Amino acid sequence: MTPLDSVGDNRALVSEPHTDDGPSPSLVGTLVAQRYQVEALLGSGGMGAVYRARHVHMQKVVALKVLHRETSERPEVVSRFEREAIAAGRIDHPNVAAATDFGRLGDGSFYLVLEYVAGQSLGSLLEEEGALPLPRALAIAEQIAAALAAAHRAEIVHRDLKPDNVMLLDPATRSTRPEADIVKVLDFGLAKLERKDADATQLTMIGAIYGTPQYMSPEQAGGGEVDARADLYALGLILYEMLAGKPPFAAEQLMPLLIKQMTEEPPPLPADVPRPVRKVVMKLLEKKPEDRFQSAEELLVALRELGKAAATPDSGRARLPSVTSLPMVPQVVDKLDELSSSARQASRPAVDFLLRELRKPIEIGGRVAPRWLPLSALVVVLGVVVTIVAVRGGEPSTGSLQGASGTASGATGDDEDDPPPRRKPVQLDPALRQVLEAAKNGSDTALYALQQRTDAERSVDEWLALSQALLMRKQVQAGLDAFAGAIAGDELAREEKALLGALRHLADDEAHADAILQFVAKHLGPIAGDFLFDVWSKTSAKTHATTRAFELLGTRGVQKQMSDALRIALDLRAAEKCEQYAKLLPRVEQVGDERTLTPLRELRKERGCGESGRDDCYPCLRKDKALDAAYTQAALRKAPQFPLLRRWRWKG
């Protein structure tokens, strides 16, 4: 997603005037809302444009965001735009770019007026300089945390914090402390305005996805509940990048990036980053929200303490050479990394644990030293690894290595949920399994990642997850196509309860009834008749769905695979004479279920015929107990049900 495609990235506010008029006519030189004189186009994209403008009465420079007229007709885009206006308007803090006005132009386009921020984005600075000096990185992080604290006090969660949404004011525009960085946090277009804001998780995808996966918390990537701690995770990623010169997780494709964000631990920070700083960053990057700092205020306290320590020169503190400058050390690491695949598999817990530990620095008497010292210990370590490989003979390890710093567990088996009844279990990579679960839980990011894969790559489980993610957004035809893909791979996939429940719910909607009922008749085999009967019989009203369901019940393909229980239920409804009913009762007693109870109740009535309406309509059924026996047995057998699962989530 390019910055201006979302009209949500304010790097455009600091760029030179842009000459491309974009999809809509330029507003340069015009007066907007009778008070904003538009001076220059700063940037334009598929969703809108950003201008530099001046308030004609206050003579104050502002940034003017304008959605293109055609974009203003898309409710989800306008919702995001309004969200940014309300959120930025509610936060009063010097580190937040404030919104001052919002409205609609005569042609229907929406506009938003923001504080004009002249300077450089943190993203641009990191591209130019790489890792920042520790005091500068901590000072920037502290101001971002202060901005988040103000937002969170107003019950606003940013949800798209990243370096490109953090601006550093141009020193030339400031009269005080030109040497210090002044931070402004921008773009609250994805902000969750309050805890009860149900729409906050229901913004649909435009072009690609909302949010930035490289700076997205695991719970946001997984479609879970997002609170203020997700912003703290994003700040942890930003602080990591400022200290290391690169983000902890990177990949060219979305799927690998998503998997890393949700499952992998971040690589260690450089050895020259002090241990207290590393501890704060790694706490921010915990995968579980409850293991992170629990508030921005709590983080602020920690950052201020680190900032004070970093700003205090310590001329007496000597530093030993870095790890890579020591002789032989890189070669030893290479040897560990280059162990044969069978050796690494056999000793994976030991090798991974040792590599992780050996790359960490330690502090001895106020000095930072690599764990490689003394070098003689490395020979012992390498000997231990080789011994482990030799003893285990290349067999995969399932044990664990106990050490002073904790436990490094070996490879574990797939922890997939129990498969649907009678469907053959399929072993999936645990990381892919998490992406599939995230998609089924409503994650836009996970859905987008799945959609990038080719049909040939998809397993049955992936087809099912894709179908569920699409159906919960009521993208019915695409969801049906994915369900068909799953069934083509394994016929038993048609028993997936979550999808059947969703289809049954949507089948009552005339907008979707035809597509769903046709799909059911064609693809669901023995289940089709039960599904169609449920649609037809659940209401006495004659609707398009009930009419179509009854028509399909009579088709040869459906009847050919119909269960005996359903067949007798339909035969009872088709019978007209007492003798016909009497012949059917033994079959009802044998195989009938509760779907036969409605006609059986009518047969048990002893009045309703004759001129007075008091005569028995079915006297031939009173000769024995066959009717009572059939009714009793049928009542004991439940009919197939297609309920919407309680955990099902609708999106949008």
DSSP string, 101-167: EEEE-TTS-EEEEEE---EEEHHHHHHHH-SPPHHHHHHHHHHHHHHHHHHHHTT-B-S---GGGEE
pLDDT over threshold 90, residue 640: yes
Residue 554 pLDDT exceeds 70? yes
Pairing status of strand 48-55 against strand 60-67: antiparallel
Position 312 scores a pLDDT of: 67
Q: Are 410 and 397 in contact (CB under 8 A)?
A: yes
User: Measured on CA atoms in the order 13, 16, 22, 26, is the torsion positive or negative?
Assistant: positive
Cα torsion 179, 181, 182, 186: sign: positive
In what side-by-side order are the strands of the sheet with 48-55? 31-32, 36-44, 48-55, 60-67, 110-115, 99-104
Rounded Cα–Cα distance for residues 9 and 4 (Å) = 6
Q: How do beta strands 48-55 and 119-121 pair?
A: unpaired
What residue type is assigned to position 590 of the chain?
A: Q
The DSSP call for residue 281 is: H
DSSP for 494-523?
GG-HHHHHHHHHHHTSHHHHHHHHHHHHHH
pLDDT digits (tens, 9 = 90+) for 50-85: 888 999 888 889 888 887 766 666 666 677 677 666
Mean pLDDT of the chain: 76
Q: Are 254 and 205 in contact (CB under 8 A)?
A: no
Residue ranges in 189-323 assigned as alpha helix (H): 218-221, 228-244, 254-263, 275-284, 296-311
pLDDT on residue 309: 81
In which residue are the tokens 């056999």 written?
Answer: 346
Distance CA(443)–CA(437), nearest Å, equals: 9
Judged against a pLDDT cut of 90, whether residue 566 lies above it is answered with yes
Cα(14)–Cα(4) distance, rounded to whole angstroms?
13
Residue 514's pLDDT band (cuts 50, 70, 90): very high
Neighbours of 178 (CB within 10 A): 12
Q: Supply the pLDDT for residue 176.
A: 58
* b/e sequence 509-528, b meaning 16+ C-beta within 10 Å: eeebbebbbebbbbbbbbbb
Task: Give the per-residue pLDDT at 255.
Answer: 77
Question: Is 325 a residue whose pLDDT tops 60?
Answer: no
**What pLDDT is attached to residue 73?**
62
Question: Which residue reads 């890792």 in tokens?
Answer: 131
Catalytic residues: 160
- Site of tokens 């907008």: 511
Question: What pLDDT is attached to residue 140?
Answer: 94
- What confidence category does residue 350 fall into, taking pLDDT thresholds of 50, 70 and 90? very low
The candidate with the shortest Cα–Cα distance to 446, out of 459, 427, 460, 462, is: 462
H or E element at residue 550: helix 544-553
The answer to whether 454 touches 448, Cβ cutoff 8 Å, is no
Confidence of residue 115 (pLDDT cuts 50, 70, 90): confident
Q: How remote is the C-alpha of 559 from its chain's centroid?
A: 42
Alpha carbon distance 254, 238 (integer Å): 19
Percent composition of the chain: helix, strand, coil (DSSP 3-state, to 5): 50, 10, 40
- Angle between helical axes of 597-604 and 626-635 (0-180°, round to 10): 150
Residues 283-292: tens digit of each pLDDT = 999 999 999 9
pLDDT beyond 70 at 108 = yes
Q: Is the pLDDT of residue 507 over 80?
A: yes
DSSP per residue, 79-116? HHHHHHHHHHHH---TTBPPEEEEEE-TTS-EEEEEE-
Say how far apart CA 281 and CA 269 lie, in whole Å: 9
Helix spans in 359-455 (H): 375-392, 430-440, 444-451
Q: What is the pLDDT of residues 596-626, one digit of tens each?
A: 999 999 999 988 888 888 888 999 999 999 9
Of 408, 413, 434, 3, which Cα lies nearest the Cα of 261?
A: 434
Which token pair is 72? 């203003």
pLDDT at 179: 65
Buried b (16+ CB within 10 A) or exposed e, 22-56: bebebbbeeebeeebebebbbbbbbbbbbbbbbee
Q: How far apart are the first and last CA of the chain?
A: 20
Q: What is the mean pLDDT of residues 375-403?
A: 40
Task: Place 652 in a pLDDT band, splitting at 50, 70 and 90.
Answer: low
Nearest by Cα to 567 from 583, 591, 548: 591
User: CB–CB of 410/186 below 8 Å?
Assistant: no
Per-residue model confidence (pLDDT) at position 422:
57
In the three-class reduction of DSSP (H, G, I as helix; E, B as strand; rest coil), residue 192 is classed as strand
Residue 313: predicted pLDDT: 54
pLDDT at 174: 58
Local confidence band at 378 (pLDDT 50, 70, 90 cut-offs) = very low
* Pairwise CA distance, residues 579 & 536, whole Å: 27
